[in-house]
Copies of this chain bind each other. A is one copy, B any other.
Amino acid sequence: MNISATEELLLQRHTVRSFKDQTLTDEQYTRLMEAARFAPTSEFLQQCSIIRVTDSHLREQIRTICHLDYVGANGDLLVFVVDMYRNHRIRAQLGLADDGLRSTDLFIQAMEDTLIAAQNVVIAAESMGLGSVYLGSIQNDIRPIIQMLKLPKLTFPLVGLQVGVPEKRTQVKPRMPLPLRSFENQYQDEFNLQNFAEYDAIVETYYGQRDSNQRIDSFTKQIADKISRKRFKRDDILAVIHEQGFCQY
């Protein structure tokens, strides 16, 4: 099978958590932002904004919230923001109500815009020889993030992304085989544990060979361990979404 260079990038992409002590050049940063800017956008509403966090005090605060040493250490730190405030402001100046902006429908559309733009940045970065790591961990305690970035109502910081010149690369993690996640015409719910046995063995082998980490957990073991009831202040997320004015109906 002869795949394109871009597909090669997609298949080889892996999370980088260790970056060289250098920030992106202006040109590199602009190229990443252009990739975000031209991402597909639902109904052309363009409901995503991006904040580049360069202030060392802010970076330190975000690191503390993420509980991860590498956050805001080296490389560039971006926060991708679901943004309906901008469209709200346009409508307000035209004397229009913004009930629609408060629907779950629109929140989902704005989340789509935001994540699609983020992934475009991830892929552009790969193609430039840069590495990246998504930071879902900003959700550990989202209210201070909103405060420190001075995010108004009708915005929501969805995900962080750290980008930089890789210091250390790891291997691509083996993913679940397609028959367990790709179906035709209807959902297949044959998820007996034995169907995961072969994949579990592959994942264990991966961890066994990975030099940087001694964890040897199968996939199902991780699913058993990771999904717990209480994680930091993440139980506040729904309340914060409502506080920010979203998903009122």
A45, B249: Cβ atoms closer than 8 Å: no
Q: Note all chain B residues with C-beta closer than 8 A to A9.
A: 6
Q: Are B220 and A235 in contact (CB under 8 A)?
A: no
A149 CA / B3 CA spacing, docked (Å)? 31
Interface residues on A, range: 35 or more
A21 at the interface (CB under 8 A from B): no
- Map CB proximity to B onto A224-243 as digits: 1 under 8 Å, 0 otherwise: 10111101001101100100
CB nearest neighbor in B for A85: B189
Q: Any chain B CB within 8 A of the CB of A81?
A: yes
* CB of A170 within 8 Å of the partner chain: no
What are the residues of chain B within 8 A of A36 when measuring CB–CB? 182
Q: Which residues of B contact A211 (CB under 8 A)?
A: none
Number of this chain's copies in the complex:
2
Within 8 A of B (CB), among A184-198: 184-187, 189, 191-193, 196
**Contact among B45, B181, B227 with A98 in the assembled complex (CB-CB below 8 Å):** B227
Complex CA distance for A27 and B3, rounded to whole angstroms: 10
Kindly state the separation between the CA atoms of A3 and B31 in the bound complex, as whole angstroms: 8
* Interface positions of A (Cβ within 8 A of B): 1, 3-7, 9-11, 13, 15, 27, 30-31, 33-46, 48-55, 58, 81, 83, 85-87, 89-91, 93-94, 96-101, 103-106, 108-109, 111-112, 115-116, 118-120, 122-124, 126-128, 134, 136, 139, 148-152, 155, 158-159, 172-173, 175-176, 178, 180-187, 189, 191-193, 196, 219-220, 222-224, 226-229, 231, 234-235, 237-238, 241, 247, 249
11 inter-chain pairs at a CB distance below 8 angstroms, sorted by A residue, are A5-B5, A5-B127, A6-B123, A6-B124, A33-B178, A37-B178, A44-B173, A48-B181, A51-B186, A108-B139, A152-B189
Known: A5-B5, A90-B220, A91-B224. 4 other contacts (CB 8 A): A37-B182, A46-B176, A98-B227, A152-B187
